[in-house]
Amino acid sequence: MSIAASNPTVQAFVSAVNAGDRDSFDAVLAPDATMSDDGTDRDLAAWVDKEIFSADGRMDIESESDGGLELVATFTNSTWGAMRTAWRFTVDDGRITRFETGQA
């Protein structure tokens, strides 16, 4: 059973992923947002296209901490299937400036 993130910006991110809504996803990110996957910085636009929007990505939140800025979620896409992942978000003025993800 998926829970909602208590941080509204992070919840908007998760909702956009789950809806496949690229416009809403882009709107929640700061213009210069960055990200990493398994500890390696990635090109955000290329990663998001490949891992989320071209592969029907979906997040089901299992738990959260740090006021909703840290999540453990089952991330599923058509490339890798389902995997337990950790997510950490940095939010500034209601927009995500960085997110880090990797296997949990």
Q: Would you list the domain boundaries of the chain?
A: 8-103
Which pairs count as long-range contacts for 98-103, CB under 8 Å and 24+ apart, including other chains?
A: 98/33, 98/34, 98/35, 99/13, 99/33, 99/35, 100/35, 100/36, 100/37, 100/39, 101/35, 101/36, 101/37, 101/38, 101/75, 102/36, 102/37, 102/38, 102/39, 103/38
For the 8-103 domain, the top CATH level (class) is alpha beta
Q: Which two tokens stand for residue 16?
A: 């956009």
Taking only the tens place, the pLDDT of each residue in 27-84 is 999 999 999 999 999 999 999 999 999 999 999 999 999 999 999 999 999 999 999 9
Taking 90 as the threshold, does the pLDDT of residue 88 lie above it? yes
Confidence of residue 2 (pLDDT cuts 50, 70, 90): confident
Overall pTM surpassing 0.85 (yes/no): yes
The pLDDT score that the predictor gives to residue 1 is 60
| Amino acid type, 38 | D
Q: What is the rounded CA–CA span in Å between residue 25 and residue 14? A: 8
pLDDT of residue 66: 96
Q: What does the pLDDT average to over 14-18?
A: 97
